[in-house]
């Protein structure tokens, strides 16, 4: 029988009827039917084009339809679609060599996964096997993944849904770094970065600490940029107490912050770096857990008790090779750095105009516009409790208006994320920020 093409309405209906919509109530889920994408734009089933102003989930750093990445996938499929992880493949060796070039120096032993979540799960297991210790210190306002271990180490309230069945074992939380709204009510720089002192205090007063995990620049929870002394100081503390430092660069890595990795901003090498998203520019699912040689050496004589069927899957590695080469060829890391002052200036101008903007912050092409009811009190329009109770959020109303205007943007509880593909032009940046400018009046009018 000849196949009849599904209409857009049918595609949406079947998806809604048969799939889970994630991190939401199923009622009211009305997914957009995406049919095409190119460069910084996506097109829906009605032919409407949108500027992709947050690179989907802050992951399509190269933009859509990069010919070299597409070709690498086709070539790999023809040559060798799968080889079990115990084998060596040419693609695996090529990618490993490139990673040695771009990762912070000293990270030279790799474990390839298929997401950021399982890269962090690997990091926790490696840290525990290596140190023989159990506890992981994570920070509030962080996200490390959706499965048991990584959600237990997630500092934001997405963790709460798991907790009626008990807290994840061996995880403790430190205060986040947030100089706009400090959780311990200090002011930078007079505080002398007291939040790191507190972390040290925790390590000193806890037994059995294996590692500290940090997002070097916190992503979903608000593009929180630490003061420049924070990471070097944390590195020293970890060294002093024999605690491993894990940098979760799932979102902040791959040129997003104007350096290959966010840790490069401060010249700090963690003991373990995890990443995903931009490693293949999201063309295929790949995650990475990279460790130092010292940790690698430990497993010469200790059993490396971890692995997956799809670990180091050739189809996931080939596009990573192509992505890194494309980033180098197009100079995208430098480009993100160059565009930083342009975005900052535009967003500061937006802040001067809109009283609902409490703060704008970021690095490279990774920015948050933080909305508040009142600049004095810094009270947000909504909290996570509003989100999970299904209340319409101010940021979502604004994002909805932008979508109608042809700009897709990610919003989270009380801030809006600006993270376009690194190939974005100044004109496209202006287009997206101008659209935001047009619709911030929704929030301005609610200010008290
Ligand atoms: N860590 C960070 C910092 C993230 O932003 C994310 C996802 O957004 C993850 C981990 C989880 O990655 P994934 O969604 O690929 O499992």
- Provide DSSP, 78-112: HH-S---TTS--HHHHHHHHHHHHHSPTTEEEEEE
Evaluate if residue 46 carries a pLDDT over 90.
yes
Distance CA 273, CA 289 (A): 6
| Banded pLDDT at 166 (limits 50, 70, 90) | confident
Of 250, 270, 278, 417, the residue with max ligand 1 atoms within 8 A of its CB, to mutate for a pocket test, comes to 250
Largest CA distance in the chain: 74
Cis peptide, bond prior to residue 189, ω within 30 of zero? yes
Q: What is the pLDDT of residue 192?
A: 95
- CB-ligand 1 contact for 258 (6 Å cutoff): no
At the topology level of CATH, where does 67-330 sit?
Answer: 3.40.640
> Helix and strand tally (H, E) in the chain?
15, 15
| Domain parsing of the chain, residue ranges | 8-65+331-444, 67-330
Report whether residue 220 contacts ligand 1, using a CB cutoff of 6 Å. Answer: yes
Please identify, by atom number, the ligand 1 atom nearest to the C-alpha of residue 115: 15
Residue 163 has pLDDT above 90, yes or no: no
pLDDT of residue 169 exceeding 90: no
**CB 216 less than 6 A from any atom of ligand 1:** no
145 lines ligand 1 (CB under 6 A): yes
Matching fold, domains 8-65+331-444 and 67-330 = no
Q: Is 251 in the pocket of ligand 1 (CB under 6 A)?
A: yes
Q: How confident is the model at residue 115 (pLDDT cuts 50, 70, 90)?
A: very high
Could you read off the pLDDT of 404-420 as tens digits, one per residue? 999 999 999 999 999 99
Q: Dihedral angle at the C-alpha atoms of 311, 314, 318, 320, nearest 10 degrees?
A: 0
Euclidean distance between CA atoms 248 and 439, whole angstroms? 33
The interface predicted TM-score (ipTM) is 0.99
What confidence tens digit (pLDDT) does each residue in 276-309 have? 999 999 999 999 999 999 999 999 999 999 999 9
Q: Which tokens is 435 given?
A: 């659209």
Mutate to test the pocket of ligand 1, among 140, 145, 316 (most ligand atoms within 8 A of CB): 145
Tokens encoding 38: 């190119």
- pLDDT above 80 (res 315): yes
Would you say residue 1 has pLDDT above 60? no
Identify the CA nearest to 44 among candidates 435, 404, 419. Answer: 404
Please determine, for residue 181, whether its predicted confidence score (pLDDT) is greater than 80. Answer: yes
Compute the distance from residue 283 Cα to the ligand 1 centre, in Å: 15
On average, the pLDDT of the chain sits at: 97
pLDDT of residue 2: 59
| 46-71 core/surface letters (b: 16 or more CB in 10 A; e: else) | eeeebbbbbbbebbbbbbbebeebee
Among protein residues, the one with the nearest Cα to ligand 1's atom 1 is 144
> What would the CATH number be for the domain defined by 8-65+331-444?
3.90.1150.10
**Using 50, 70 and 90 to split pLDDT, how confident is the model at 209?**
very high
């Amino acid at each position: 029988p000849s196949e009849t093409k599904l209409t857009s309405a049918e595609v949406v209906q079947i998806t809604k009827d048969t799939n889970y919509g994630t991190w939401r109530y199923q009622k009211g889920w009305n997914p957009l039917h995406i049919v095409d994408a190119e460069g910084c734009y996506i097109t829906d089933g009605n032919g409407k084009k949108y500027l992709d102003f947050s690179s989907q989930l802050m992951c399509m750093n190269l933009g859509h339809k990069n010919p070299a990445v597409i070709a690498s996938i086709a070539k790999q499929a023809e040559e060798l679609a799968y080889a079990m992880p115990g084998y060596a493949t040419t693609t695996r060796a090529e990618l490993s060599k490139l990673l040695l070039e771009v990762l912070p120096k000293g990270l030279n032993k790799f474990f390839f996964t298929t997401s950021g979540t399982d890269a962090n799960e690997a990091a926790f297991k490696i840290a525990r096997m290596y140190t023989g210790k159990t506890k992981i210190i994570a920070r509030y306002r962080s996200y490390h993944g959706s499965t048991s271990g990584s959600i237990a180490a997630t500092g934001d309230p997405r963790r709460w849904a798991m907790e009626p069945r008990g807290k994840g074992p061996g995880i403790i939380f430190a205060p986040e770094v947030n100089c706009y709204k400090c959780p311990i009510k200090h002011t930078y720089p007079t505080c002398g970065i007291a939040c790191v002192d507190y972390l040290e205090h925790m390590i000193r007063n806890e037994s059995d600490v294996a590692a500290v995990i940090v997002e070097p620049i916190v992503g979903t929870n608000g593009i929180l940029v630490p003061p420049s002394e924070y990471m070097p100081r944390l590195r020293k503390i970890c060294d002093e107490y024999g605690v491993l430092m894990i940098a979760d660069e799932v979102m902040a890595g791959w040129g997003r912050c104007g350096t290959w990795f966010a840790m490069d901003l401060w010249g700090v090498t963690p003991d373990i770096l995890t990443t995903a998203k931009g490693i293949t520019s999201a063309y295929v699912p790949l995650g990475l857990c990279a460790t130092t040689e010292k940790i690698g050496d430990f497993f010469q004589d200790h059993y490396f008790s971890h692995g997956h069927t799809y670990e180091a899957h050739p189809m996931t590695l080939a596009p990573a090779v192509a992505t890194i080469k494309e980033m180098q060829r197009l100079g995208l890391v430098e480009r993100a750095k160059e565009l930083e002052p342009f975005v900052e200036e535009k967003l500061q101008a937006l802040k001067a105009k809109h009283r609902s903007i409490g703060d704008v912050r970021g690095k490279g092409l990774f920015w948050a516009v933080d909305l508040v009811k009142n600049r004095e009190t810094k009270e947000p329009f909504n909290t996570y409790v509003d989100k999970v109770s299904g209340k319409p959020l101010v940021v979502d109303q604004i994002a909805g208006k932008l979508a109608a205007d042809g700009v897709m943007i990610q919003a989270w509880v009380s801030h809006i994320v600006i993270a376009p593909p690194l190939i974005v032009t100044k004109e496209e940046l202006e287009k997206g920020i101008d659209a935001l400018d047009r619709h911030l009046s929704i929030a301005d009018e609610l200010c008290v």
